[in-house]
Structure 1
C-alpha cells in the first residue's frame, strides 16, 4: 500500500507523460500500479481504498460473524479456527486471526457506547471508592477515597477494614472536612450499601439508609459492571495509590506504623487540593470555598449508632467490655467512646471536632486477661530519680558536695538502717577540712561498698587509705608455697619414749 505522497507522485508522473510505462519508470513502480491509481481517480474512488480480493475464507465469513456476534466479541480466534477447520477450511490460523480481528472491529464500531459529557453542578454529587492500601506490619489496609465532583476536592483516609461503622466514620470525616453535605453520594454496590439486585433494581442496606437520612443525603450506586458511572472517584483511587502505596516504581519506603500512613494521607490531600486542577484550571480548595454555599449544613452529632456501644473511659485510661479491660489513649480519660467487635478484634471509636476516628484496636480477650498497650500511656517517670539524694539543708548540701561517694554512702546507710546518720555526715564534713575532700569521698564510697557504717569506721578507712602506699605486685618464685611445712611433726612421739625410760 502506497502512502499519500507516493500516490501523488505516481499521478503527477502520469499527468506529465501520459503513459503508464513512462510514469512507472519515473515513479519507480510497476505500470499496473500506475494504471490502478489512474483508473481509481477517474472513477472518483479514494486511491487509498483497497479492492477486495476473493479469499478461500470468504465462504466461512458468515459463520465467523455469527460466532463473534453470539459471543459478544469474546470468542478467541483459535476457537473460531478450529470450528471452521472442522467445516472444511484449509487455510492457516493467521488468516483466521486477521478476519476475526476485522469482524470484532466492525462489531465494536456498530455497538460502541457514546458518552455525553457530565456537566456537574455545585453542591450535588459526592463520590467515594476504595483502593488497596500498603501493608502495615504485614496487615492489609484500605484507602477511602472521596471526591466532590464539582470542586474536585479529594479526601483520602486509611482504614483497616471496610465494615459499615468504618464507612460511617469515613463519611462523617469527609463531610466535616468538606464543611457541608451534598445532595447525593455515589459509590459502588458493596454489601454494606446494596444487599442485592432484583430485576436490576438495587436494594439498599437499611442501615446505610438510616445513615443517609441522618445526614440528609441520598445514597446512589453505579450500574453493575459499569465503572464509567463513577470514573471520578476511580481516578482519585488511582492517583492516591500511585502516590501513597510503596512500589518499585515510586521508590516509597514502607510505613513503620499506621500513624505514619495517616500523616502521609493528610499531606497528599493537602498537596492535591492546593494545586491547580488540569480540567478546571483552579485549585480545588478555592473551588470548595465557593461550593460550600450550595451544601446542606452538617448535623452537630455524627451518626454514632453504628460505632457500637458507648463506654466511659476510666481514670486509668481503660474501658470495660464484657468484663475485660481494654486500654485507650490517655487523652480520652473521662470522655465517652464507642466500642464494637469486628471478628476477633475490638475497635474503639472516638468523636473529635473533625469527626469520628478509630483510636484503639485490640485482640478479643477474656475476663482476667486485660489488653493494655504501652503506646496508650505517657512515658513513665524515672523512678530511680527518687533514690537520688537532694539536699534540704546546708548540712546536707555540705555533705553531698563531697562527691558521688558521699551520695552512695547515704543511700546505702539509709537502706541498712544505720544509726546516727546525721552525726556521721557532720564527722565526714569535719574530716574533709583535715584531709582533702577527694580522700574523704573515696573513703565514703569504700564504706558504702563494704557496708561499714559503725562508729569510727569512716576514720579507720580514711587513715588506712591515706597511709597506704602503692607498691608493685610481686610474683612468688617456685620455692615459695602457702602449704604449711612438716617440721612440727619431727618431735612427734619423742616425749612418750622418754616417759617409758
Structure 2
C-alpha cells in the first residue's frame, strides 16, 4: 500500500505523462498501481492509502545513508544504525523499506549504456578466465572477442606471463586472418606498469608487441569491466562450457592437449551459431571483416619468448644457463626459444608451428651434469642393455637358420655366449635336418638344447631322436594323470608268475 503522499505523486505523474507505464517508471512502482489510483480518482473514491508505519519516521535517514553509500549499504547495517537511534521495529521491515529507497535511488543514478557501434576491423578485446585444473595446475583461458563480427576465440595457456599472452594473441591474429587497429584489455602488468594522475604507463614489452603487429594496445578504466562487456560475456560462456562443473556434467581433463581440443571445439561451435544481436553467424561476418584486417608478419613476435637455441641434428636436447633440457624429437635441426619462468624454478621451451608460437616443453631448472629429460620427448627410443644383442641375419645362411623359429634365435644367443666351436657348420646342419624331419621339431630341439646347454656335435641329432621314444616315460593328458593311484595295492599278497598269471 502507498502513503497519501505517494498516491499524489503517482497521480501527478500520470497527469503529466498520460501513460500508466511512464508514470510507473517515474514513481518507481508497478503500472497496475498507477491504473488503480487513476480509476479510484475517476470514480470519486478516496485514495487507497496505507496506514502509517513505524519506519516512515526513519525514511529520511535511510535515504541519506543510501545516497552516501551510493546504494551499497546493507539491510542489517541499516537496521543496526536505526536500533542505536531508538528504532523498535523488526529487521524485516527495515529491509523492505531500504529496498524501496534503493529502488528510488537507482532510477536517477543507474548507469545508462549506449550501444557500441564499431567499424569492421577496428577493435578486438581480450580477457582471461580460470580454466580447468590439469596435473595440479590451473589452466588459463585467453578469450578474444572481435567487436564487429562478434567472433570469439578461446586459447588455453599455462600461465599469464607476457611471453604466453603475446604468443596467444599471435595465434588469435592468425586464426582471424589479421590484426585489428586497436586491442583492448585490462590493466594487467603485462600491459600497464602503473598509473600517474590517472594516465596508464605502458609496459615496454606491450609497446614493442603492438609496434611489431601494427596495433595499438589500449586498456579500460580500472575496476570498470563494463567498458569491455563483450569479452566479459564471452569469458563467462567459455567457462560455463569448458570448465568442469556440476551443472555441465563435464569430467576432468587428462592432459593439457585435451583442454586445447575443448577450446577449439568451443570456438568452432559458438561461431557457427546465429548471434542474437546481429542475426548472422560470426563465422560468416568474419569472412567480411577479415578483408579490412591488417596483415601480420610471417614470423611471430619472439622477443618475449626467450633466447634462441638450435636443436642439434643428432639429439633432442638444448642448453640453457649451464643446464640441458629435452625437447620433442620432431624438433631436431630447428630453432627454439628458451626462457626462465619468473618467480619459479621452471624453464620453458617454445617453438613455432603453423598457428604461431607454442610451448613444447616445461622442465624444472637443473644444473651441469644433470640433464632434464622427459621420456615423452623420445617415443621411439629403446634403452640398450649391455649383453642384450639384436639378432639380425646378414646373409642367406643366417636367414635360413633364424627362419626355423624362436628356438633358433635362443640357441644362437646361448651358443655364442659360451663360445661354441664350429657354430656356422652346426647352423647349416640344423637347416638340413629341418628339411628332412620338419622345421617345428628342429626348432623345438634347438630350444631345448639352448636351455640345457647342449651345443656339442651330435646333440641336435640326439634330442629329436629321443623325443617320444622312452617306453617308461608317461605323459599327462586330459584323460591321464601323473599322480600315483591305488591300483597297485590290488596285487598285494599275490604271486605273479612269469607269464603274468596270478596264483
**TM-score per shorter chain, which class?**
0.7 to 0.9
Cα gap change, 1:95/1:388 in structure 2, threshold over 3 Å: closer, same or farther? same
What is the Cα deviation at residue 397 of structure 1?
A: 5.3
TM-superposed CA distance for 1:400, in Å, is 4.4
In 1, Cα distance between equivalents of 2:48 and 2:102: 20
Instruction: Name whichever of 443-452 and 132-141 sits farther off.
Output: 443-452
Q: Superposed, which structure 2 residues align to 1:252-271 within 5 Å? A: 252-271=250-269
Q: Which structure has the larger Rg over C-alpha atoms?
A: 1
1:416 matched residue in structure 2:
418
2:112 to 100, 114, 123: 114
Contact 1:273 1:283 in 2 (8 A): yes
> Which segment is superposed worse, 464-473 or 235-244?
464-473
- Cα shift readout 1:393-420 (whole Å, capped 9, x = no counterpart): 2x55554455443333223222322111
Aligned to 2:360: 359
Q: In structure 2, how many angstroms separate the alpha carbons of the residues matched to 1:447 and 1:402?
A: 14
Once residues 413 and 302 of structure 2 are traced to their aligned partners in structure 1, the CA distance between those partners, rounded to angstroms, is 56
TM-score scaled by length of structure 2: 0.80
Deviations 1:371-414 (A, max 9, x none): 11111123236979963464832x55554455443333223222
Whole-Å separation in 1 of the counterparts to 2:433 and 2:111: 104
**Equivalent of residue 84 in structure 1, options 82, 85, 103:** 82
| Equivalent residue for 2:428, pick from 426, 429, 433 | 426
In the alignment, which residue of structure 1 is the partner of 2:316? 317
- 1:183-198 matched pairs, under 5 angstroms: 183-198=181-196
1:467 counterpart = 2:478: no
| C-alpha spacing 1:50/1:159, structure 2 compared with 1 (3 Å) | farther
Matched with 1:201 is: 199
Query: CA distance change for structure 1 residues 402 and 216 in 2, over 3 Å: closer, same or farther?
Result: closer
Please name the residue that 1:329 is paired with: 328
Distance 2:144 2:181 in 1: 15
Is 1:368 matched up with 2:369? yes
List per-residue Cα deviations over 1:276-305 (Å, max 9, x = no partner).
222222222221111122212212332211
TM-superposed CA distance for 1:42, in Å, is 4.6
In structure 2, what is the Cα distance between the partners aligned to 1:89 and 1:429? Answer: 112
User: SS state of the match for residue 141, structure 1?
Assistant: strand
CA drift at 1:476:
12
Q: State the secondary structure of the residue aligned to 1:467.
A: coil
Shift of 1:232: 0.8
Moved more, 378-387 or 193-202: 378-387
1:338 corresponds to 2:337: yes
1:243 matched to which residue of 2?
241
Give 3-state SS (helix, strand or coil) of 1:135's partner. strand
* 1:348/1:360 contact within 8 Å kept: yes
2:390 alignment partner, one of 387, 391, 395: 387
Tell me how many residue pairs correspond in the alignment: 441
Alpha-carbon distance between aligned partners in 2 of 1:114 and 1:297, rounded to the nearest angstrom: 37
Change (3 A) 1:58 1:239: closer
Structure 2 residue runs of 5 or longer lacking an equivalent are 3-36, 475-481, 487-503
Aligned-residue CA RMSD (Å): 2.9
Unaligned runs of 5+ in 1: 3-35, 478-501
With over 3 angstroms needed to count, the CA separation of the structure-2 counterparts of 1:196 and 1:469, relative to structure 1, is same
Secondary structure at the counterpart of residue 307 of structure 1? coil
Q: Which residue of 1 aligns with 2:173?
A: 175
Alignment deviations for residues 200-228 of structure 1 (CA, whole Å, 9 cap, x no partner): 22222222112112211111111122221
* Displacement after TM superposition at 1:132 (Å): 0.5
- Equivalent residues in 2 for 1:127-206, closer than 5 Å: 127-206=125-204
Q: Distance in 2 between matches of 1:88 and 1:410?
A: 105
- CA offset at residue 167 of structure 1? 1.1
Q: Report the alpha carbon displacement of residue 248 of structure 1 after superposing the two structures with TM.
A: 1.3
Match of 2:55? 57
How many angstroms does 1:256 deviate by? 0.8
CA change 1:133–1:454 in 2 (3 A) is same
Distance 2:484 2:458 in 1: 35
Measured in 1, the distance between the counterparts of 2:92 and 2:150 equals: 48
**CA deviation vs aligned residue, 1:38-72 (integer Å, no higher than 9, x gap):** 762256x9x9x753644333332222222221122
